[in-house]
Structures are given as C-alpha cells and as structure tokens.
Amino acid sequence: MGVRRAVKGFGDFLIDTVGEAVAGMILSLLACILLGCLALIVYVSWSASPRLTVTGAGLLSCILAHGVWQTFRRPAKARSRGLAALTAAVFTGAAATALFLLLYVPGCGCL
C-alpha cells in the first residue's frame, strides 16, 4: 500500500513539474512573439510615416495618461463614464501587457 501511494505521489509531482515547465515555455514563446509583433509594428509604422508614428505615439500617451488619471483618482458623483471607462480599459490592457512582457520576455532568450 505504501509503495503505491509513493509511486502515485511521485507521478503527480512529475506531471505537475513537467506541466509547469511546458506552460512556462509556451508563455515565454508567446511573450517573445508579442514583443516581435510590437517591434514590427513600430518598424513598419516608422518606415511608412515618421510624423504619423510620432503623432500616434503622442495620442496613445495622452490616452494612457487619461486612463491612469481615471483609474487612480477618486470617483466623481455625477459624470458620464463613457470616455473615462474606455481610457481606463486601454490603460489596464497596456499595464497587463507590460507586466506580461516584464515577467516572461527575459526567459525567452530573444533579447
């Protein structure tokens, strides 16, 4: 009885360990692909029109700044939340993407 339980415990440990290693490799690969796509977007955009690229980066910076302001300020009582919700969602998505890249890109070996 004790041997079966030990073998089963070792098998569960091995499955968990291999599963975590495979999941880590997949997430690192996805992070590397995402970073490559972002770099390609910047390269193609800059090749097409540097002025438009700088203008788009400035607009994105304003949207992100408004999203940060909407996310971390105290809620107003009687305001329309349409644009505020949109910019807060854009900021949250950008922050989640940055955190994902910060955690998984160093392990992919593409840098």
Domain ranges for the chain: 2-107
Q: Tens of pLDDT along 9-63?
A: 888 888 888 888 888 888 888 888 888 898 899 999 999 999 999 999 999 999 9
Query: d(Cα 55, Cα 58) in Å, to the nearest integer?
Result: 5
Q: CB burial class (10 A; 0-12, 13-18, 19+) of residue 105?
A: middle
Q: Within 13 Å, how many C-alpha atoms sit on residue 47's CB side?
A: 6
Question: In the numeric block, which tokens belong to residue 30?
Answer: 């996805």
Query: d(Cα 53, Cα 56) in Å, to the nearest integer?
Result: 5
Q: Tens of pLDDT along 50-61?
A: 999 999 999 999
Q: Within 13 Å, how many C-alpha atoms sit on residue 42's CB side?
A: 7
